[in-house]
């Protein structure tokens, strides 16, 4: 796959690939380390919380678990810095710093970073991401997330990558050259949208039960499915203080399936722009990545939804959590030195 750098370069320079996701962010390095973290940052609300938590800042699951004691920020929305407020920017910087700390960048090593951003991220979004990363990296580039996934797969031609994230679903058609704006698309009906749908349906069916946002997301991640159900999905949720079992099978199925129509529609719309013979080849090479690709049965259901337009072959990538970060890393490692120097 990627042409590796010489050992000397590998010692001097640490290449890193980062996938900054709305829900989870991942990092992979040329030294072989990989880490991920929930994209949450929390600052203790007051000195009591600080004393209790013994930290000035919390990240990921730690921040989420202590959400009542911290000012919790999820700084990335739809894959880009949410409001551009100083707090959001500070949270993104802290998150990136935390990721780089997790992989333990060695002293004296230069850091060359490639960072994945949503396919249709605007220039200002990319600049904001660059601003947030640049103080921790000696040089950096931003790349479209689905393109990074395609690169990691080696799917550079006759393929389409669909990265189903929490904030966005990103599409990228690969035709042997650098994908342009017209080859990429972003939808905002993604994982968070499914969570909202599920929350509303459950709140309507079980008005006395306490379904929180975090709980609903956990249900989706643990039991999410489309198509035929393999038995009931029962979860325990507090009702007037007592944990009570609730059947959420139909709601979970309906919420997860709400992803399919916009994805199918976008696939058809994107593919229709190309020559018929190219369309034919791309149909056999659709790849699903991102957390949403872990919804049970989603690849088969998408094939079914697309069936009326011809036979499609949809494959789920092996390691969706790290596919974006590893793709960005592969790009970083393959990038000629003179390109890095000029950044």
Partner 1 sequence: MKLDLGTRASRQDILRGVYEDNLRIVNKRVEAARGRSRRARWGLRATLLLAGVLVAAAGFQVWQEIQAKQPAEAGALATLGDPEAAAERMAREFGSPDDPGLAAEVPIANLFNLQVRTIVIDPGHGGEDPGALGPQGTREKDVTLDVARRLRRRLERRGLRVLMTREDDRKVSLRRRVAFANEHEADLFISLHVNALPAEGVTSVETYYFGLQADAQAMHLARLENQDSDFSMADFRESLEKIGDTMKFQESKLLASSIQRTLYRNMRRVNSQVSDWGVRRGPFVVLLGVQVPSVLAEMAVISNRAEEAKLNTPQHREHLAMSLEAGILGYLHPDTSESTQRATEHGSQKDP
Q: Should residue 188 be labelled a site residue for partner 1 when binding is judged by CB under 8 A?
A: yes
Rounded CA separation 192/212 (Å) = 13
Q: Should residue 212 be labelled a site residue for partner 1 when binding is judged by CB under 8 A?
A: no
Size of the site for partner 1 (CB under 8 A): 42
* 3 state SS for 283-310: HCCEEEECHHHHCECHHHHHHHHHHHHC
Rounded to the nearest whole angstrom, what is the least distance from the CB of residue 296 to partner 1 in the complex?
A: 20
Rounded CA separation 298/316 (Å) = 9
Among 82, 93, 220, 253, binds partner 1 (CB under 8 A): 82
Q: Should residue 195 be labelled a site residue for partner 1 when binding is judged by CB under 8 A?
A: no
**Half-sphere exposure at residue 243, Cβ-oriented, CA atoms within 13 angstroms:** 3
Q: Cβ closer to partner 1: 142 or 329? A: 142
Q: Point out which span in 54-62, 82-90, 191-199, 210-218 binds partner 1 (CB under 8 A).
A: 82-90
Among 61, 83, 213, 247, binds partner 1 (CB under 8 A): 83
Rounded to the nearest whole angstrom, what is the least distance from the CB of residue 242 to partner 1 in the complex?
A: 36
Q: Cβ closer to partner 1: 252 or 331? A: 331
Q: Should residue 325 be labelled a site residue for partner 1 when binding is judged by CB under 8 A?
A: no
Contact 73, 111 (CB under 8 A): no
Q: Whose CA is closest to 163, among 178, 145, 141, 179?
A: 145
| First and final C-alpha spacing in the chain | 24
Contact 22, 39 (CB under 8 A): yes
Residues of this chain, 111-170, that bind partner 1 according to CB under 8 A: 120, 122-127, 130, 141-143, 151, 153-159
Q: Cβ closer to partner 1: 143 or 198? A: 143
Return the structure tokens found at 164.
């189903």
Rounded CA separation 27/321 (Å) = 10
Return the structure tokens found at 106.
């060695």
Among 111, 201, 317, 329, binds partner 1 (CB under 8 A): 317
Bridge pairing between strands 13-19 and 24-29: antiparallel
Contacts 24+ apart (CB under 8 A), 266-270: 266/169, 266/171, 266/185, 266/187, 267/160, 267/162, 267/171, 267/302, 267/306, 267/312, 268/306, 268/309, 269/185, 270/160, 270/171, 270/173, 270/183, 270/185
Rounded to the nearest whole angstrom, what is the least distance from the CB of residue 17 to partner 1 in the complex?
A: 12
Among 165, 285, 286, 288, binds partner 1 (CB under 8 A): 285
Unique residue bearing structure tokens 């010692």? 11
Among 4, 48, 101, 178, binds partner 1 (CB under 8 A): 178
Q: Cβ closer to partner 1: 12 or 269? A: 269
Q: Cβ closer to partner 1: 112 or 223? A: 112
Q: Cβ closer to partner 1: 182 or 275? A: 182
Q: Should residue 213 be labelled a site residue for partner 1 when binding is judged by CB under 8 A?
A: no
Residue ranges in contact with partner 1 by CB under 8 A:
1, 77-78, 82-84, 120, 122-127, 130, 141-143, 151, 153-159, 176-178, 181-182, 186, 188, 285, 317-318, 331, 334-336, 339, 342-343
């Amino acid at each position: 796959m990627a042409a590796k750098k010489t050992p000397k370069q590998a010692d001097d320079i640490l290449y890193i690939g980062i996938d900054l996701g709305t829900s989870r962010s991942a990092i992979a390095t040329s030294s072989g380390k990989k880490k991920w973290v929930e994209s949450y940052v929390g600052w203790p609300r007051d000195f009591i919380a600080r004393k209790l938590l013994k930290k000035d800042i919390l990240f990921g699951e730690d921040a989420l678990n202590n959400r009542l004691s911290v000012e919790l920020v999820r700084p990335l929305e739809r894959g880009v810095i949410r409001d551009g407020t100083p707090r959001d920017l500070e949270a993104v910087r802290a998150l990136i710093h935390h990721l780089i700390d997790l992989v333990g960048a060695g002293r004296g090593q230069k850091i060359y970073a490639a960072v994945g951003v949503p396919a249709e991220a605007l220039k200002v979004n990319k600049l904001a991401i660059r601003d947030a990363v640049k103080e921790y990296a000696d040089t950096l580039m931003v790349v479209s997330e689905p393109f990074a996934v395609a690169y990691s797969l080696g799917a550079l031609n006759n393929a389409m990558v669909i990265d189903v994230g929490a904030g966005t679903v990103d599409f990228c058609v690969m035709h042997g050259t650098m994908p342009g704006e017209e080859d990429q698309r972003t939808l905002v009906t993604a994982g968070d949208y499914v969570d909202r749908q599920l929350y509303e349906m459950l709140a309507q069916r079980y008005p006395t039960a306490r379904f929180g946002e975090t709980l609903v997301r956990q249900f989706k991640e643990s039991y999410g499915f489309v198509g035929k159900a393999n038995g009931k999905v029962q979860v325990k949720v507090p009702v007037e203080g007592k944990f009570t079992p609730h059947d959420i099978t139909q709601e979970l199925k309906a919420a997860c399936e709400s992803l399919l129509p916009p994805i199918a529609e976008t696939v058809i719309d994107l593919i229709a722009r190309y020559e018929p013979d190219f369309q034919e080849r791309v149909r056999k090479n659709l790849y699903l990545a991102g957390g949403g690709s872990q919804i049970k049965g989603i690849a088969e259901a998408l094939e079914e939804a697309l069936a009326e337009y011809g036979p499609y072959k949809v494959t789920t990538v092996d390691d969706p959590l790290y596919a974006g970060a590893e793709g960005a890393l592969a790009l970083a490692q393959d990038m000629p030195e003179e390109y890095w120097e000029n950044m």
